[in-house]
């Protein structure tokens, strides 16, 4: 399991799967997005405007009043200011589909624009932003989806179906790892999703 500088805990559905729970419990520090501290009172820092933070947690609240960015972005900026760039994102999905889609897209934004080496864990799988050539650890038969963010060349080794520079988000979904690793070679950015279990 990757070693992270911090976990950013959003206010989506709290995980029940052992993988994200393991990442959360192993984290050296947890930065909660505003009301998420209610689900995880052990959080070290709470980021947001404080409107949904009970008074008992105000001793660890870092109040950020501006409303141009969501709490996930405020928490990410705070981590970056502390020099924490290897971040795990947990509880970013569920409850609202629009927030789910936005938070997954923000993972790529943080990678490209802020230099964050982030991973987003759900109860079902893991999202990893990447660029260039990279070899991913996998399970034989694991489901893999690839979302292109600007590659004009995107080729794969070790997947059931060869990848290419997908023009639509759905085109790179529903692939499968053939062994315990696979490699992607791209000339730009892409986002990879891997399930925890083989379906």
Look at residue 93 and tell me whether its pLDDT is greater than 60: yes
Q: Is the same domain home to 115 and 168?
A: no
Q: Is the same domain home to 96 and 46?
A: yes
1 is a domain residue: no
Query: What's the pTM?
Result: 0.92
pLDDT digits 0-9 by tens, 105-124: 999 999 999 999 999 999 99
149 vs 89: CA distance, rounded Å: 20
Q: Is the same domain home to 106 and 136?
A: no
State the CATH number of the domain containing residue 150: 2.60.120.320
> Could you tell me where the DSSP H helices lie in the chain?
18-26, 71-81, 97-114
* Closest of 47, 92, 94 to residue 71, by C-alpha: 47
Average pLDDT over residues 63-70: 75
Q: What is the mean pLDDT of the chain?
A: 92
| Domain ranges, residue 27 | 6-123
Measured in degrees and rounded to the nearest 5, phi and psi for residue 62 equal: -105, 105
170 is a domain residue: yes
pLDDT digits 0-9 by tens, 8-33: 999 999 999 999 999 999 999 999 99
| Strand duo 143-149 + 175-176: pairing | antiparallel
Q: Is the same domain home to 141 and 175?
A: yes
Q: Is the same domain home to 115 and 18?
A: yes
The pLDDT > 70 percentage for the chain reads: 95
Angle at 124 between CA 76 and CA 12, to 5 degrees: 45
């Amino acid at each position: 399991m990757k070693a992270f500088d911090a976990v950013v805990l959003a206010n989506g559905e709290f995980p029940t799967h052992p993988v994200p729970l393991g990442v959360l419990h192993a984290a050296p520090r947890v930065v909660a997005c505003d009301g998420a501290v209610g689900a995880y009172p052990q959080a070290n820092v709470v980021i947001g405007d404080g409107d949904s933070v009970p008074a008992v947690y105000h001793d660890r609240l870092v109040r950020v009043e501006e409303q141009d960015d969501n709490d996930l972005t405020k928490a990410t900026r705070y981590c970056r200011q502390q020099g924490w760039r290897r971040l795990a994102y947990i509880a970013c999905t569920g409850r609202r589909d629009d927030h789910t889609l936005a938070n997954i897209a923000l993972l790529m934004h943080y990678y490209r624009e802020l230099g964050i080496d982030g991973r987003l864990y759900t109860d079902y799988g893991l999202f990893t932003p990447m660029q260039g050539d990279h070899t991913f650890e996998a399970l034989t038969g694991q489901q893999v989806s690839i979302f292109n963010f600007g590659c004009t060349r995107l080729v794969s080794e070790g997947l059931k179906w060869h990848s290419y520079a997908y023009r639509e988000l759905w085109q790179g979904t529903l692939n499968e790892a053939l062994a315990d690793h696979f490699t992607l070679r791209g000339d730009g950015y892409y986002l990879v999703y891997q399930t925890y279990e083989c379906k």
